[in-house]
Amino acid sequence: MAAERFYITTPIYYVNYYPHIGHTYTTVIADVLARYKRLDGVDVLFATGTDEHGINIERRARAEEVEPQVWADKIADAFRDVWQRFNISYDEFIRTTEPRHREVVQRIFREARDRGDIYKGKYEGWYCPRCESFYLESDLVEDKRCPVHRLPVEWNAEDVYLFRLSKYADWLLAHIEKNPSFIQPGSRKNEVVSFVRSGLRDLAVSRSTFTWGIPVPDDPGQVIYVWIDALSNYVTVAGYGQDEARFARYWPADVHLVGKEILRFHAVIWPIILHSVGLEPPRQVYAHGWWSFRGEKISKSTGNLIDPWEHAQALARLSGAEVDVCVDAIRYFLAREIPLGQDGDWADESLLNRFNADLANDYGNLLNRTLPLVARYFGGLLPEAGPEEGGDEALRRLATATADEVLAYVDRCDFQRALAVVWQLLAAANKYLDTEAPWNEHKAGRVARAGTILVNTLEALRVATILLEPVMPTATLKVWTQLGLPHYEERARDARAAGRASQGTGLSRLDAQRWRGLSAGVPVALATPIFPRIDLKLALADKNFAATPPVAATSAASPAASPATAPIPAKETSVTEMISIDEFRKLDIRTGKVLEARQVPKADKLIELRVDIGDEVRTIVTGLIPHYQPQDLVGRTIVVLANLQPRTVRGVESRGMLLTAGFDDTFGLLAVDPDKPAPPGAPIS
């Protein structure tokens, strides 16, 4: 029988911006799932790509004074580049400007029109150019702004082609009912059902006001509007209309993994379009949550971006680990930190904690504790395992049952629990090593028993490493080499260099269910720790690491600039009055706790403060009277610019500046403080 197949997709990302950690999240999770499936012997088709048409991209290219295609090429390359660095093992990278896709889109449009599901009409409504969507008045947030981007919407009326969505509402409701796993997580099902029940409006599927798109067949004044164009990428990849055997094998897709803001498009519009042209809907649409940064969604329009590669490089500088290992640490963090489907706020502290506690301590240290003993007691050659005693059997049973448990959670897209199960095994192996204490056995002359304990510990580590490969495909290769299996590392590296990252090491579920996969007599390779511990205090104080602060992107609150035309921040612009991120990082801004405060004698406005700024207590003079009296400030946490040159004011040397907010004296001055208690010395970035 042919191998089971699994077709998984990410959204195709707009090329109006560079990839950020939000895109990385979806793509890494899809990659992790694809790799687990391959580990399980499944024939996987994993696709990602770029969404390159539409008014925003046309505008963006114009703002950059290049042709849209040139712009699209540049950003598509940026996506491919970062996916390569993040070891994304996609089988297909689809671009909507490819000729094969144009044919598919026109074919779908023509078929739906021939069936009477697409007709010419007028479309009117509130339109968000960023979403390329019309909204009902009731969907808008205050001041007539788009609910997703909070940008002002425009009233739009246009001659367009419309798709009879409403005709298929009952069919869709029945489909959702019959297929309980179609919309995941289940909690999102009701949201979609009530949206469909509230009445579907026919959908504009073409536009006449821009040209950067695929022309409507036989009506070149119109271009096919984003959703038919973008969504159809999923069938183009599967070979629709071009390779019938491939299409029969891979369609319907098993899962479209998407961010929750595009769930409706995937769970309502897309199945209806497919049904109209006689194709099956995807088996599942999985809507994951959003990453935010300091409470605000990470997005192009707010500009609070975290550049995944820069972050990996900064982590490498701080930890001394290789950058590939840091990429893996970020992949691990993304998969482990929040349950798929829920939102999460990005915190570098959590990333560093996971690095130290999970990777350096529980995983890396198990290897670092064991291999030197193999070197010392057995000349660096893996010893033979003897009969089971003590805790051996329990460890073996746990280890050999781990793969099934992990993969069962993976099937439910519960990566957080899947990884927790691997960590249970690592914890058990660490405990086994402590309890069985091979050093005591060795001292007592029971050398063979010491060898058995070391081999059993390493066996558990081998099983864990197989099950961690999908999440950390590079760091685990280094573990193989240290365990005396360098051919895995070589094989996977060669495959990656040849653009076949999907081949990996070729290890399988069966390998993870076996006990005694390591061979006696094989030399292990002692090396420097793969995951060196990071000094948390230093790291958090390091301005080069702290997550990228907002850059000069369009503020959602600024009606003057549309995100499509605003210049691309940081990477592209050099505006004279802007400062660079490096300049910003020169500022040592941190929290301080006011210990004492008194009015400076014979000075009306001045207060002399004694402030604990973490590593020392400073005197700072500030002109805050009459807005504050000295006693108002004692005990408060304030924000201090700590590396300002000292200055003597009325005979008192002030070393630092207290930051305030306020326009001028009419409005008063407010001492800036964090909204939650923070310890003195916490860096502000």
For the chain, the first-to-last Cα distance in angstroms comes to 57
Q: Is 627 part of the annotated catalytic residue set?
A: no
Longest dimension (CA), the chain: 93
Q: Is 413 part of the annotated catalytic residue set?
A: no
Residue closer to ligand ME8 by CB (options 30, 426) is 30
Residue of 146, 256, 326, 442 marked active site: 146
**Contact (Cβ atoms closer than 8 angstroms) between residue 640 and residue 590:** yes
Within 5-131, strands assigned E span 5-14, 43-51, 92-95, 118-128
Centre a 10 Å sphere on the Cβ of residue 332 and count the other Cβ atoms it contains: 24
How many residues contact ligand ME8, by CB under 6 A?
Answer: 20
Distances from the Cα of 80 to the Cα of 24, 49, 184, angstroms:
11, 8, 28
Task: Tell me the per-residue interface mask from 398 to 427 with ligand ME8, x by CB under 6 A, - otherwise.
Answer: ------------------------------
**Cα–Cα dist 227/569, whole Å:** 28
Task: Name the minimum Å distance from CB 397 to ligand ME8.
Answer: 39
Residue closer to ligand ME8 by CB (options 208, 292) is 292
Task: Name the minimum Å distance from CB 239 to ligand ME8.
Answer: 18
Residue of 37, 53, 128, 266 marked active site: 128
Side-chain-side CA neighbours of residue 603 (13 Å): 18
Q: Is 18 in the site for ligand ME8 (CB under 6 A)?
A: no
Q: Is 340 in the site for ligand ME8 (CB under 6 A)?
A: no
Residue of 101, 149, 478, 593 marked active site: 149
Task: Name the minimum Å distance from CB 28 to ligand ME8.
Answer: 11
Distances from the Cα of 648 to the Cα of 620, 621, 624, angstroms:
10, 9, 17
Which amino acid is present at 576? Answer: T
Task: Name the minimum Å distance from CB 329 to ligand ME8.
Answer: 19
Task: Name the minimum Å distance from CB 76 to ligand ME8.
Answer: 12
- The correct pick among 6, 14, 83, 480 for binding ligand ME8 (CB under 6 A) is 14
- Burial of 202 from C-beta contacts in 10 A (0-12 / 13-18 / 19+): middle
**H or E segment and range at residue 289:** none
Q: Is 175 part of the annotated catalytic residue set?
A: no
Which amino acid is present at 536? Answer: L
Residue closer to ligand ME8 by CB (options 415, 531) is 415
Residue 403: both structure tokens together? 């793969």
**Binding segment toward ligand ME8, per CB under 6 A, in 259-267, 478-486, 619-627, 651-659:** 259-267
Q: Is 25 in the site for ligand ME8 (CB under 6 A)?
A: yes
**Cα–Cα dist 344/297, whole Å:** 9
**Cα–Cα dist 616/113, whole Å:** 74
Task: Name the minimum Å distance from CB 618 to ligand ME8.
Answer: 38
**Cα–Cα dist 351/354, whole Å:** 5
Q: Is 259 in the site for ligand ME8 (CB under 6 A)?
A: yes
Q: Which of the residues 46 through 105 are near ligand ME8 (CB under 6 A)?
A: 51
**Cα–Cα dist 184/283, whole Å:** 11
Q: Is 149 part of the annotated catalytic residue set?
A: yes
Residue of 23, 53, 442, 593 marked active site: 23
Q: Is 22 in the site for ligand ME8 (CB under 6 A)?
A: yes
Residue closer to ligand ME8 by CB (options 13, 415) is 13
**Binding segment toward ligand ME8, per CB under 6 A, in 23-31, 182-190, 362-370, 596-604:** 23-31
Q: Is 146 part of the annotated catalytic residue set?
A: yes
**Cα–Cα dist 414/407, whole Å:** 10
Residue of 20, 311, 442, 593 marked active site: 20
What is the distance of C-alpha 136 from the center of its chain? 31
Task: Tell me the per-residue interface mask from 211 to 240 with ligand ME8, x by CB under 6 A, - otherwise.
Answer: -------------------xx---------
C-alpha closest to that of 259 among 418, 24, 94, 53: 24
Tell whether the torsion through CA atoms of 47, 49, 53 and 54 is positive or negative.
positive
**H or E segment and range at residue 335:** helix 323-337
Q: Is 8 in the site for ligand ME8 (CB under 6 A)?
A: no
**Binding segment toward ligand ME8, per CB under 6 A, in 11-19, 464-472, 656-664, 668-676:** 11-19
**Binding segment toward ligand ME8, per CB under 6 A, in 108-116, 163-171, 290-298, 637-645:** 290-298
* Helix locations, 484-604, DSSP H: 486-497, 509-513, 536-541, 581-585
C-alpha closest to that of 276 among 169, 186, 371: 169
Q: Is 286 in the site for ligand ME8 (CB under 6 A)?
A: no
- The correct pick among 8, 11, 410, 642 for binding ligand ME8 (CB under 6 A) is 11
- The correct pick among 162, 255, 258, 671 for binding ligand ME8 (CB under 6 A) is 258
**Cα–Cα dist 609/476, whole Å:** 53
Q: Which of the residues 144 through 173 are near ligand ME8 (CB under 6 A)?
A: none
Q: Is 33 in the site for ligand ME8 (CB under 6 A)?
A: no
Q: What share of the chain is helix, strand, coil (3-state, %, to 5)?
A: 45, 20, 40
Q: Which residue in the block uniquely carries the two structure tokens 């500030």? A: 622
Residue closer to ligand ME8 by CB (options 103, 632) is 103
Distances from the Cα of 299 to the Cα of 130, 477, 551, angstroms:
12, 33, 11
Which residues neighbour 175 within 8 Å (Cβ) at sequence distance 6 or greater?
182, 271, 275, 281
Q: Is 269 in the site for ligand ME8 (CB under 6 A)?
A: no
Q: Looking at the DSSP assignment, which residues form a beta bridge with residue 135?
A: 126
Q: Is 326 part of the annotated catalytic residue set?
A: no
Task: Name the minimum Å distance from CB 25 to ligand ME8.
Answer: 5
Residue closer to ligand ME8 by CB (options 230, 267) is 230
- The correct pick among 44, 204, 262, 450 for binding ligand ME8 (CB under 6 A) is 262
Residue of 37, 53, 256, 297 marked active site: 297
Q: Is 128 part of the annotated catalytic residue set?
A: yes
Residue closer to ligand ME8 by CB (options 22, 569) is 22
Q: Which of the residues 292 through 311 are near ligand ME8 (CB under 6 A)?
A: 297-299
Residue 481: both structure tokens together? 């080499």
Task: Name the minimum Å distance from CB 192 to ligand ME8.
Answer: 15
3-class DSSP state of 292: strand
Residue of 131, 266, 442, 593 marked active site: 131
Residues designated as active site: 20, 23, 128, 131, 146, 149, 297, 300
Give the residues lining the site for ligand ME8 (CB under 6 A): 11-14, 22-23, 25-26, 51, 230-231, 258-259, 261-262, 290-291, 297-299
